């Protein structure tokens, strides 16, 4: 039997050590090799894609980026890993895992359970992205763009506007553009608190709206554009969205 390549992510060093010694204990029935470790979600993003790991043992509560969010980003990789979540005590997370048939282990982890979870993970493979999405209650802190051996993270707070173009959505930040493969509607739902729809194909960060400019001449019906903080470009507001946008700005002015 060939070795199963395992990646361990946990912010606590003793917890990682414990998993490693358990893996050593079950080596006879379940040969494994630890090919990478990470102390938080961001490190997982950096180290995992190149590690060639088949299974990820992923702590749920990690600083910087939660385990669930990390799993959602990894699911975009062409060769996405099987994931076994590990949690100390989080009733909500456990409930979500059960509901969406995601594999998890409770800390302290037992050797027999670890072996069973790895066997199962090997058999079932990577979890589907939409099950991960349904299991996570918190909105993501990052957008991610998966490349072949790399995941590029874009902090949600950096994004000024999102624009749908054909099959893709373009994220515009102060410094550049990124393309993600998610429908604008789903993004609008997840980040409703942060972005407002100004046009059929465009969401704008509420915080980045500096004002509005009348455009389109002096004919009977005026049209409006959004003036943005930190970007020269003006974005047109559709006639349909204008009442909603206007109200929002009135609220902010109060």
Partner 1 sequence: MMARPSQNVQPDALPDFRNLGVIARIVIGAHLLALGAVMYAEPAWNAMPERYVRAAALLEPVLLASLAVLYFASDSLARLPYWVGCALVLLLVLGLAWSTHLYFDPGAFATTPRTLMLAAIVAVVLLGYLRLNTRAYSPALAEARLQALQARIRPHFLFNSLNAVLSLMRRDPARAERTLEDLADLFRELMAEGRRFVRLADEISLLERYAAIEQLRLGDRMRIAWEIDEAPSDALLPPMVLQPLLENAVHHGVEPATQVSDIMVRIGRRGDRVQARIENPYHEGAPAQKGNRMALENIRERLRLYFDAEATLVSRIENGRYRVDIEIPYRAAS
| Interacting residue ranges for partner 1, rule: CB under 8 A | 11-15, 17-18, 21, 39-40, 42, 61, 63-64, 88-90, 106-109, 138
Closest CB 91 distance from partner 1, rounded Å: 9
Rounded CA-CA distance 237/76 in Å is 32
61/154 with CB nearer partner 1: 61
Instruction: Go through the chain and tell me how many residues it has.
Output: 254
Closest CB 6 distance from partner 1, rounded Å: 17
22/245 with CB nearer partner 1: 22
Rounded CA-CA distance 108/142 in Å is 30
140/199 with CB nearer partner 1: 140
Dihedral sign of CA atoms 206, 209, 210, 212 in order? negative
- Residue 95: which H helix or E strand, with range? helix 91-99
156/164 with CB nearer partner 1: 156
Rounded CA-CA distance 237/246 in Å is 10
Closest CB 110 distance from partner 1, rounded Å: 10
Closest CB 15 distance from partner 1, rounded Å: 6
Whether 202 contacts 211, CB under 8 Å: no
Rounded CA-CA distance 142/156 in Å is 5
42/231 with CB nearer partner 1: 42
CA atoms within 13 A on the CB side of 80: 19
Closest CB 196 distance from partner 1, rounded Å: 19
- Residue 199: which H helix or E strand, with range? strand 195-199
Token representation of residue 149: 């051996």
Residue with the two structure tokens 């076994």: 84
Question: What are the residues facing 87 on neighbouring strands?
Answer: 106
Token representation of residue 243: 């009442």
151-155 vs 195-199, strand pairing mode: unpaired
Closest CB 39 distance from partner 1, rounded Å: 8
64/236 with CB nearer partner 1: 64
63/222 with CB nearer partner 1: 63
């Amino acid at each position: 039997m060939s070795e199963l390549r395992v990646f361990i992510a946990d912010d606590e060093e003793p917890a990682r050590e414990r998993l490693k010694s358990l893996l050593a204990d079950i080596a006879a029935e379940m040969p494994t090799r630890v090919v990478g470790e990470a102390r938080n979600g961001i490190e997982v993003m950096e180290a995992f894609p190149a590690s060639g790991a088949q299974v990820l043992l992923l702590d749920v509560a990690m600083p910087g980026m939660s385990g669930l969010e990390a799993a959602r980003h990894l699911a975009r990789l062409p060769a996405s890993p099987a994931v076994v979540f590990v949690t100390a005590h989080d009733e909500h997370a456990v409930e979500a895992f059960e509901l969406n048939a995601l594999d998890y282990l409770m800390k302290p982890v037992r050797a027999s359970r670890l072996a069973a979870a790895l066997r199962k993970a090997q058999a079932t493979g990577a979890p589907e992205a939409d099950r991960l999405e349904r299991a996570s209650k918190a909105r993501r802190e990052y957008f991610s763009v998966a490349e072949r051996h790399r995941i590029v993270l874009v902090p949600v707070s950096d994004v000024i506007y999102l624009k749908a173009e054909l099959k893709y959505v373009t994220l515009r930040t102060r410094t550049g553009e990124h393309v993600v493969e998610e429908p604008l509607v789903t993004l609008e739902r997840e980040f409703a608190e942060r972005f407002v729809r100004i046009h059929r194909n465009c969401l704008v960060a509420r915080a980045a709206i500096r004002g509005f400019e009348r455009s389109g001449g002096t004919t009977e019906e005026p049209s409006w554009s959004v003036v943005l903080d930190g970007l020269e470009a003006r974005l047109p507001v559709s006639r349909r969205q204008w009442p909603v946008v206007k109200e929002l700005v009135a609220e902010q002015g109060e």
